[in-house]
Amino acid sequence: MKIAIIHDWLVTYAGAEKVLESIIDIYPDADLFSLVDFIKPEERGFLKDKAVKTSFIQKLPMSKKHYRNYLPLMPRAIEYMDVSEYDVIISSSHAVAKGVITGPNQLHISYVHSPIRYAWDLQHQYLKEAGLKGFKGALVKNILFNIRNWDYRTANGVDYFLSNSNFISRRIRKVYRRESVTIYPPVDVSAFSLKTEKEDFYLTASRMVPYKKIDLIVESFSQMPDKRLYVIGDGPDFEKIKAKASKNVHLLGYQSFEVLKDYMQRAKAFVFAAEEDFGITPVEAQACGTPIIAFGKGGALETVVSYKKSKNPTGLYFYEQKSKAIVQAVQEFEDNLSLFSPQACRENAVKFAPERFKEELRQFVEQKVTEHFKKNDLE
C-alpha cells in the first residue's frame, strides 16, 4: 500500500503539526505533501527527516512571510499535486488539503481540524478584526465566496471525514452535509507532570491575537485587584493588552516551555476564554493537575469536566465572552475550590494522550482500507 499524507502548510510546530507528527509515526514510509515548507532545519524533528513535496506557491515572491496572501491560488495549488500513484491519501486539513484530487480506486480519509474558518461561519468576525472595509472588504468577500464554493464541491472527493472534536463534527455536517467520526488530537501529556500543591494565582497563556480573548481575561482580572493573574504569550495585541493591565496582572511575554510548565503546575486555575475547535492548552494544564475556568463553547466543552455534571470535575464554564461572566466564574470557582482534585485533572488529561490518538486512527484507517479495496475487488 502506497500512502500519501497531505498537510496544508508547514511554517511552525503547532496543534495541526502535532497531529501530523503522530500520523507520520503511524505511517513512517508515507510520502508527505504540503503547499509550502518553511520549517527551519533545526526544528524539523517532528517531520522525522522526511522530504516534503511542495506546490508552486513555495517559489512565489514573498511566500515565506506572506504565504497566506496566496489563498486565492491555494485551491489550484492543491489540485495540481499529483497523488495518482498512491492507494491511500490521508489529508490533515484546516484549509485546503482535503481538496487534493483522487480517483475512484483511491481511498481518501481527511482529518479535519476545521472547515476553512474565515470562509465559513467566522467570515464576519475575520473581516471585522482585519478592518477590511470598502473596496478591499468587497474584494476579500468575493475571494471567500469562491473559496466556499470550491470547499463545498471538493468535499465530494473525500471518502471519510474525521473530526478533531464533536464541535467540528457539527461544523462539518453544517457546511459539507457529511458525517464524520471524532478522534481527538494527540496531547503530549507526558511532557507535563502532576503538582498537587497550588499557589494563589491564576494563569492564562496564548498567542495574543483577537480571537484568543486574552484582552478580555486581563480586563476581567483588572476588576479583581485581590486576584493575581499571570499572562504568558506574545503577539500583535501585546501592547494593547498591556495597556489594560492593572498592578495585579503580570504580562510575562513569550516564555520557554519549561517556564510555561512551571506556571501551569503552580497555578490555582487556568483561564481560557477562546472558542477553540479543540484547545490543547487546557488539556496540558489539566495534565499538571490544574483546573480550568473556560468559555463554555467549542472544544472546551469536551475536554473540561464541569463540577455540575461529575463527582470528579476538572473545571467550570462561563457562557458569555464578557468581563462580568469571567468575574462571576472566578468567584464561583473559589466558592467550590474543594471540589477540584489535581489527580482528577491529570486523569482526565491522560485520555487525550498520543497513544490513544494513534491507536484510534490506525484502527479506523485499517478498517476503511479493508472495506474499500474489498468492495473494489468485488466490482
pLDDT per residue over 2-53, tens digit each? 999 999 999 999 889 999 999 999 999 999 999 999 999 999 999 998 999 9
Structural domain count, the chain: 2
Same domain, 35 and 125: yes
What torsion do the CA atoms of 223, 342, 254, 321 make, to the nearest 10 degrees?
Answer: -40
In the chain, pLDDT over 70 holds for what percent of residues? 99
CB 330 within 8 A of CB 227: yes
pLDDT at position 119 is 83
Same domain, 283 and 213: yes
What's the burial of 360, exposed, middle or buried (CB within 10 Å: 0-12/13-18/19+)? Answer: middle
Grid coordinates of 169 = 463534527
Same domain, 267 and 118: no
Grid coordinates of 253 = 511575554
Same domain, 52 and 181: yes
CATH value at residue 358: 3.40.50
For residue 319, the enclosing domain spans: 189-350
CATH value at residue 282: 3.40.50.2000
Same domain, 46 and 148: yes
Same domain, 19 and 108: yes
Binning pLDDT at 50, 70 and 90, where does residue 373 land?
Answer: confident
pLDDT at position 378 is 61
pLDDT at position 120 is 83
Q: Is residue 107 predicted with pLDDT exceeding 80?
A: yes
Q: Using one digit for the tens of pLDDT, what is the confidence trace for 319-341?
A: 999 999 999 999 999 999 999 99
Between 143 and 181, the more confident residue is 181
Binning pLDDT at 50, 70 and 90, where does residue 122 land?
Answer: confident
In the chain, pLDDT over 90 holds for what percent of residues? 87
Grid coordinates of 318 = 462561563
> What single letter denotes the amino acid at residue 196?
T
User: Which whole-number Å values give the CA distances from 268 to 155, 218, 248, 264, 340, in the listed order?
Assistant: 44, 16, 15, 9, 10
Same domain, 35 and 75: yes
User: What average pLDDT score do residues 249-259 get?
Assistant: 96
Q: How many CB atoms lie within 10 A of CB 376?
A: 12
What is the C-alpha separation between 360 and 19, in angstroms, rounded? 13
Output the average pLDDT for the chain.
94
Tell me the Cα Rg of the chain.
Answer: 22
User: Which whole-number Å values give the CA distances from 276 to 79, 147, 174, 234, 281, in the listed order?
Assistant: 29, 22, 17, 18, 10
Q: Is residue 379 predicted with pLDDT exceeding 70?
A: no
What is the C-alpha separation between 96 and 154, in angstroms, rounded? 9
Same domain, 178 and 209: no
Same domain, 22 and 167: yes
Q: Using one digit for the tens of pLDDT, what is the confidence trace for 209-220?
A: 888 999 999 999
Same domain, 263 and 371: no
Same domain, 127 and 271: no
Same domain, 158 and 242: no
